[in-house]
Amino acid sequence: MLFSTNFNYRIMTRIHILSSTDRPGSNALDVSAYASGLLCRYAETEVFSLEDYPLADVAGGKYGNTPQSVQDYNSRILDADGFLFVIPEYNGSFPGVLKVFIDYLPFPKALEKRPVSLIGESSGSFGALRAVEQFEQILKYRKAYIFPERMFIQRVDKNFDVQTGLSSELHQKLFEKQLKEFPEFVESLTKQLV
Ligand SMILES: Cc1cc2nc3c(=O)[nH]c(=O)nc-3n(C[C@H](O)[C@H](O)[C@H](O)COP(=O)(O)O)c2cc1C
């Protein structure tokens, strides 16, 4: 039997970060890596990328008959207490591969009552606000608990650096605040659900 005599011991909250595009060399993956560096002060984190999604295996429509490769990918991502999606803006919305990912998640349970935090990034001046808010509609349909603090990284190529973060001091503070407070949000919900 495993036990601990250290009364300060607590199991860390696990947060999975999903870089929500399959575009090679994406900013979303850089932002995810940077976010992970901040988040890991407060939670156990792991970064996933939709670049690794077995997209070819769902070609032709495998709805109701999810391929094993997709089930395995989904299980690895879903094995966490909370999720952070890093979403770029493509044509005023989020990437199509992210919708495919959602469409093959187990229904209805996968995201139900599960805490989700959101970061948008784009080359435009709205920082993927449209993409994130459209994705939020889906999260609401899937009954996820959306963390209200969100970050929208505008003109990402100019304003973000994978080593140093955001060039604006104010935005960097807000970014750090979101990543510090999200694990607290996850923990408060986890306690209520126990
Ligand atoms: C297919 C595609 C569509 C895009 N559409 C938009 C757009 O609607 N608005 C915008 O601000 N930027 C748009 N961009 C630019 C991306 O938001 C920007 O390059 C972003 O950093 C790309 O994210 P990624 O590097 O994570 O793939 C688009 C880029 C791609 C590849």
Q: Which two tokens stand for residue 25?
A: 């060399």
Ligand 1 contact via 27 beta carbon (within 6 Å): yes
Q: What is the pTM of this model?
A: 0.95
Distances from the Cα of 171 to the Cα of 13, 27, 117, 150, 178, angstroms? 25, 17, 16, 11, 10
**CA 36 to CA 15: how far, in whole Å?**
9
If you take atom 28 of ligand 1, which residue's CA is the nearest one? 90
CATH of domain 14-193: 3.40.50.360
Q: What per-residue confidence (pLDDT) applies to 168?
A: 98
Ligand 1 contact via 122 beta carbon (within 6 Å): yes
Task: Give which of 127, 107, 109, 110 is closest to 118, Cα–Cα.
Answer: 127
- Taking the domains of the chain in order of start, what are their residue ranges? 14-193
**CA 20 to CA 95: how far, in whole Å?**
7
Q: What per-residue confidence (pLDDT) applies to 10?
A: 55
pLDDT along the chain (194 residues), means of 10: 42 95 98 98 98 98 97 98 98 98 97 98 98 98 98 98 98 98 96 70
CA 133 to chain centre: 14
Ligand 1 contact via 87 beta carbon (within 6 Å): no
Q: What per-residue confidence (pLDDT) applies to 9?
A: 47
